[in-house]
Amino acid sequence: MTITLYNTLTRQKETFVPLEEGKVKMYVCGPTVYNYIHIGNARPAIVYDTVRNYLEYRGYDVQYVSNFTDVDDKLIRAADELGEDVPTISERFIKAYFEDVGALGCKKADLHPRVTENMDAIIDFVQELIKKGYAYESDGDVYFKTRAFEGYGKLSQQSIDELRSGARIRVGEKKEDALDFALWKAAKDGEISWDAPWGKGRPGWHIECSAMVKKYLGEQIDIHAGGQDLTFPHHENEIAQSEALTGKTFAKYWLHNGYINIDNEKMSKSLGNFVLVHDIIKKHDPQLLRFFMLSVHYRHPINYSEELLENTKNAFNRLKTAYSNLLHRLNSSTNLTADDDEWLKKIEEHRTAFEEAMDDDFNTANAISILFELAKHANYYLQEDNTADKVINAFIEMFDRIASVLGLTMGEQELLDQDVEELIEKRNEARRNRDFALSDQIRDQLKSMNIILEDTAQGTRWKRGE
């Protein structure tokens, strides 16, 4: 069997053939760290973590890089509003990001580069584009000559003329063409800045990913991924910058996950329907949110509501109950059944069906349906008078195999004493920092795992519930 995936660049499914046999270079655009992440940020984190899991399951050596944008206009505005500096804010929300996506079952990337730690690479990249005639300096700003790159618009499938009709030069911009975009922005008074050949300033948004891909993964990669909203202009501009510099195809495959709506309306701050992961996982098992996200194919839009999440909870609990029943029956079977081989064959068919679903453009919705089929057959089997540990173990192993790729945990997670102490220390630190939302989140997390906290004058004590 081979993996096929939908390539945004060609608008069709293609057989996945990496640049180097057995290896995958994968880059996923990460968040701008000026606030807690919303569920729109959580979706790519979950989706592409699952894609990486499956590629590794299929035997690929995956080099996975996802960046942090830790300086830009949003961070500068947040710093002004809060009376803090940009590094302090970015550090706080990078830490919060790891806590939130970690709770969602996402593994860390192999590398999480930050813009501020890669300024030399970004400046060198811009300099090379100027030397090649693809960029120009204008009063401290540097712009990319969009019309100089012949393939501009190929990812979003728009022509230069179509793009030109909607382009405008905003007040303060000193570019030659309305289509040109900023590679470097001259610093305003009081703004965070770095020295460059064109004067003090900071990178434009698009250049950071091109520079970090080149530095950490090389001039060509297999998969570049992110949300659908990044297709244009962010990813389009990345292609232009990178291919103008190297003359090579930047990314072979482009994956984009669909939008999230809230109660059937597009999520936006202006509508006041902005939902933070930080808040959701205070009220719900983080695994439930992951299950909810994966229950829809990654390219399709998702509609989120509390009611839908509750419905998903009932479905998820059915799977966990089936798994729990298997564990409960294990080691208490009579080990006398004439249908062992038939049941073992049936269980193995679920593995094949799961792989067929995931090979078809990482169809997690169909993969989850395979889990329900597995649970149904497990329930049927447990109703038999004579059951065998061998078959029960095979059911459990198949549950674990599929769930681990999806990043789901079927059984209850048992916290070790050391894990509890570390979480309590994080909670104490949050309370010292007056971050009561995080403090409450950790308390609720521990409570959901049957850990009871008691705050005393001598410190926080804990015990396991009965």
Q: For 22-59, what is the HEC assignment?
A: CEEEEEECCCECCCCCEHHHHHHHHHHHHHHHHHHHCC
pLDDT in tens, 370-385: 999 999 999 999 988 7
Grade residue 99 by pLDDT with cuts at 50, 70 and 90.
very high
Q: What pLDDT does residue 450 have?
A: 67
Residues that constitute the known binding site: 29, 209, 234, 238, 269
pTM above threshold 0.85: yes
Please answer whether residues 146 and 240 qualify as being in contact, where contact means their C-beta atoms are separated by less than 8 angstroms: yes
pLDDT in tens, 153-197: 999 999 887 776 555 556 556 889 889 999 999 999 989 999 999
Partnered with residue 265 across adjacent β-strands are 262
Two tokens at 385?
């008078």
Task: Pick the more confident residue, 208 or 459.
Answer: 208
Average pLDDT, the chain: 90
Grade residue 48 by pLDDT with cuts at 50, 70 and 90.
very high
Q: What pLDDT does residue 23 have?
A: 98
pLDDT in tens, 103-154: 999 999 999 999 999 999 999 999 999 999 999 999 999 999 999 999 999 9
Using the predicted structure, report yes or no on whether residue 307 has a pLDDT greater than 70: yes
Residues that constitute the known binding site for ATP: 269
Among 143-157, 220-234, 322-336, 395-409, the minimum mean pLDDT is found in 322-336
CB-based burial, 348-361: b 16+ in 10 Å, e otherwise: eebeebbbebbbbb
Residues that constitute the known binding site for Zn(2+): 29, 209, 234, 238
Using the predicted structure, report yes or no on whether residue 339 has a pLDDT greater than 90: no
Q: What pLDDT does residue 416 have?
A: 55
Partnered with residue 68 across adjacent β-strands are 114
Please answer whether residues 141 and 185 qualify as being in contact, where contact means their C-beta atoms are separated by less than 8 angstroms: yes
Using the predicted structure, report yes or no on whether residue 430 has a pLDDT greater than 90: no
